[in-house]
Amino acid sequence: MNSPAHSPALESALERRRIRLRGLVQGVGFRPHVYRCAARLGITGSVHNGPEGVVIEAQGVRLDDFVQLLQREAPPLARIDSLIQAPMALGQGSGFEILETAPGAASGAAIPADTAICDACLGELFDPGNRRYLHPFIACCDCGPRFTMTRRLPYDRANTSMADFALCQACHAEYTDPASRRFHAEPVACHDCGPRLSGDIDDLASALGAGRIVAIKGLGGYHLACNARDHTAVENLRQRKLRDGKPFAVMVLNTASAARHVQLDATAAAALASPERPVVVLPAPGLPETGDPPPLSPALSPGLDTLGLMLPYTAIHYLLFYALLGKPPGRQWLDEANELVLVMTSANISGDPLLIDAGEAQRRLAGIADLVLHHDREIAARADDSVLRVTPGASTIIRRARGYTPHAISLAKDGPRVLALGAHLKSTVAMTRGDLAYISQHVGDLDTPAAVAFHAETAAALQAMLQARPQLLACDWNNDFASTRLAERLGASLDLPLVRVQHHHAHAGAVLAEHGREAPALAVTLDGHGTGSNGESWGGELLLVDGGSFERLGHFAPLALPGGDAAAREPWRMAAGVLQQLGRGDEIAVRFASQPLAPALAQLLATGAAPVTTAAGRLFDAAAGLLGVCDRASFEGEPPMRLEGLARQPLALRNGYTLAAGVLDFSPLLARLADCREPALGADWLHGTLVEAVTEWVAAAALLSGVDTVALCGGCFLNAHLAREIPARLQQRGLQVLAATAMPPNDGAISLGQAWVAQRSPRQH
**pLDDT tens digit sequence for 661-678:** 999 999 999 999 999 999
Total number of residues shown for the chain: 765
| Residue partners of 172: CB distance under 8 A and separation at least 6 | none
- Please indicate, yes or no, if residue 651 is contained in any of the structural domains: no
pLDDT at 2: 40
State percent of the chain over pLDDT 90. 84
**Average pLDDT over all residues of the chain:** 93
Split at pLDDT 50, 70, 90, the class of 13 is: confident
| Residue partners of 114: CB distance under 8 A and separation at least 6 | 144, 145, 146, 147, 148, 219, 220, 383, 402, 403
Q: Is the pLDDT of residue 4 over 50?
A: no
Q: 432 and 503 share a domain?
A: yes
User: Rounded CA gap, 560 and 579, in Å?
Assistant: 10
Q: Is the pLDDT of residue 108 over 80?
A: no
pLDDT at 105: 55
Q: 349 and 494 share a domain?
A: no
Please tell me whether the overall predicted TM-score, pTM, comes out greater than 0.85 for this model.
Answer: yes
Strand locations in 694-750 (E) = 709-713, 736-739
- Please indicate, yes or no, if residue 574 is contained in any of the structural domains: no
Domain stops at, among 108, 123, 140: 108
Q: 359 and 219 share a domain?
A: yes
- Please indicate, yes or no, if residue 489 is contained in any of the structural domains: yes
At 209-247, the pLDDT tens digits run 999 999 999 999 999 999 999 999 999 999 999 888 899
Q: 15 and 100 share a domain?
A: yes
Q: Is the pLDDT of residue 311 over 90?
A: yes
Sheet holding 342-346, edge to edge: 197-198, 371-375, 214-217, 222-227, 342-346, 249-251, 306-310, 279-283, 387-391, 394-399
pLDDT at 49: 84
- Please indicate, yes or no, if residue 227 is contained in any of the structural domains: yes
Q: Is the pLDDT of residue 7 over 50?
A: no
Measured in degrees and rounded to the nearest 5, phi and psi for residue 360 equal: -65, -40
User: Rounded CA gap, 486 and 125, in Å?
Assistant: 46
Q: What is the domain extent for residue 223? A: 197-390
pLDDT at 417: 96
Q: 368 and 478 share a domain?
A: no
pLDDT at 5: 43
Cα-based distances in Å from 689 to 14, 683, 718, 724? 68, 10, 17, 14
- Please indicate, yes or no, if residue 157 is contained in any of the structural domains: no
Q: Is the pLDDT of residue 393 over 60?
A: yes
Q: 328 and 412 share a domain?
A: no
Please give the average per-residue pLDDT across 46-57, as a whole number.
88
Q: How many domains does the chain have?
A: 3
- Please indicate, yes or no, if residue 417 is contained in any of the structural domains: yes
pLDDT at 737: 98
Q: 362 and 411 share a domain?
A: no
Q: Is the pLDDT of residue 358 over 80?
A: yes
Q: 370 and 243 share a domain?
A: yes
Q: Is the pLDDT of residue 531 over 50?
A: yes
Instruction: Between 521 and 467, name the one with better pLDDT.
Output: 521
CATH number of the domain where residue 83 is located: 3.30.70.100
Q: Are 346 and 236 in contact (CB under 8 A)?
A: no
Give the range among 146-155, 272-281, 399-408 with minimum mean pLDDT.
146-155
pLDDT at 20: 94
DSSP conformational letter for 154 = S
State percent of the chain over pLDDT 70. 96
Q: 509 and 428 share a domain?
A: yes
Q: 420 and 360 share a domain?
A: no
